[in-house]
Amino acid sequence: MDPAQTAPRVLVVGCGGIGGVILSRLLEGGWRVAAVARREEIAQVLRTRGPVLRDEKGERTVRGELEVFVQPPPEGAYDFILLATPPNGVEAAARDTAHLLAPGGAMVVLQNGLCEELVARVVGEDKVLGAIVAWGASSPETGIYERTSSGGFALGALSSKQDPRLTRLAELLSAVSQVAFTENLRGARWSKLAINCAISTLGTVGGSRVGPLLRHRFIRRLAMEVFTEVFRVAQAENVKLEKVASTVDLEWLTLKESEQHSRGSLSLVGRHAMLLAIGARYRRLRSSMLAAIERGREPPVDFLNGEVVQRGKAHGIPVPVNEHLLQAVHAMSRRELTPGVETLRRIYEQTRPQGH
């Protein structure tokens, strides 16, 4: 297949870790790509040198047909607008680029959280597709993009129907990673939300990469409690959780009623083993929220644990671990709290049921 002859017009909005890896791999695949970088420094590097990509193939400078804007252009017609900004910028990104959608085009939501609903408010549900990213990436330096974990995409639509545009989107994104489809986008999103609320936020508050943190038994227990709280809120929202990229069954990782005050059982041993395996798989993964805090930017925790806290309150469901983690991340962003294992240990102690 010659991408130049068959490729849809693509605009990547956001050139951080995820957006940068995607545009780099698309360029390597021969696709023509336009991007909105937001910062002149990033745009200049991408225009002059091109992106540098680090992944399982090594490090290389990527060449290709790349057009870079600092602000969205006044006109254009893109078949897919790939939204790769942080979650707290996704609505603004959708508003700023809505005029660039080609007839029949779609905005593709790559953010963690429940951002399809936010983008649908801007452009309408019929113009929104979801692409759940089951891999990690970072941008350690301007214009340098590093893929930090393996995994693929899960594509779907809010309507749960097999939107014909998904096939075309899959052809595009298969240049980046393997692609699967889901007819339960909300369920898959909630499963990924649970993973981020646990893994990403624990990594932020713990101030370290995922692998070393999950070697601590009490941190693995906190992760299970986060999963359990998210699962209960999802049930109240009439959402059926779905495996993310067919790998992690979040419902299995939740604590049953009999295990709430238990420290040892065969099933708990299995869950701890699974979390150790997850830690090993994502051992290089460093939370993008932690990087945002270090750079003086607002961490998007309100779109992760904050979403669970807000919806938990609406349903009268207590979510103390998510609430403490939410408060901790905000305190860190205000420089009132130092990240580390001991900070997580205090949260663990503060969230034990009375009498335990």
Q: What is the pLDDT of residues 12-21, one digit of tens each?
A: 999 999 999 9
Using the predicted structure, report yes or no on whether residue 262 has a pLDDT greater than 70.
Answer: no
* Cβ neighbours of residue 7 closer than 8 Å, sequence gap 6 or more: 31, 32, 172
User: Residue 153's beta-bridge partner residues?
Assistant: 133, 179
> Which of the residue ranges 30-39, 205-214, 238-247 has the most confident prediction, judged by mean pLDDT?
30-39
Mean pLDDT of 99-122: 96
Q: If DSSP codes are grouped into helix, strand and coil, which group holds residue 248?
A: strand
- Write down the pLDDT at residue 261: 62
- Write down the pLDDT at residue 23: 97
- Write down the pLDDT at residue 98: 97
- Write down the pLDDT at residue 159: 82
pLDDT tens digits, 329-354: 999 999 999 999 999 999 999 998 76
- Write down the pLDDT at residue 355: 46
Using the predicted structure, report yes or no on whether residue 249 has a pLDDT greater than 90.
Answer: no
Q: Please, what are the domains in the chain?
A: 3-183 (3.40.50.720), 187-350 (1.10.1040.10)
- Write down the pLDDT at residue 245: 53
Using the predicted structure, report yes or no on whether residue 248 has a pLDDT greater than 80.
Answer: no
184, 192 Cβ separation under 8 angstroms: no
- 266 vs 276: which has the higher pLDDT: 276
Give one DSSP letter per residue of 110-139, joined into a string.
Answer: --SSSHHHHHHHHH-GGGEEEEEE-S-EEE
pLDDT tens digits, 184-203: 999 999 999 998 999 899 99
- Write down the pLDDT at residue 225: 95
- Write down the pLDDT at residue 224: 93
Confidence of residue 312 (pLDDT cuts 50, 70, 90): very high
Query: 92-128 burial, b for 16+ CB within 10 Å, e for fewer?
Result: ebbebbbebbeeebbbbbbbbbbbbebbbebbeeebb
Confidence of residue 145 (pLDDT cuts 50, 70, 90): very high
- Write down the pLDDT at residue 278: 80
pLDDT tens digits, 60-98: 999 999 999 999 999 999 999 999 999 999 999 999 999
Using the predicted structure, report yes or no on whether residue 3 has a pLDDT greater than 80.
Answer: no
- Write down the pLDDT at residue 263: 59
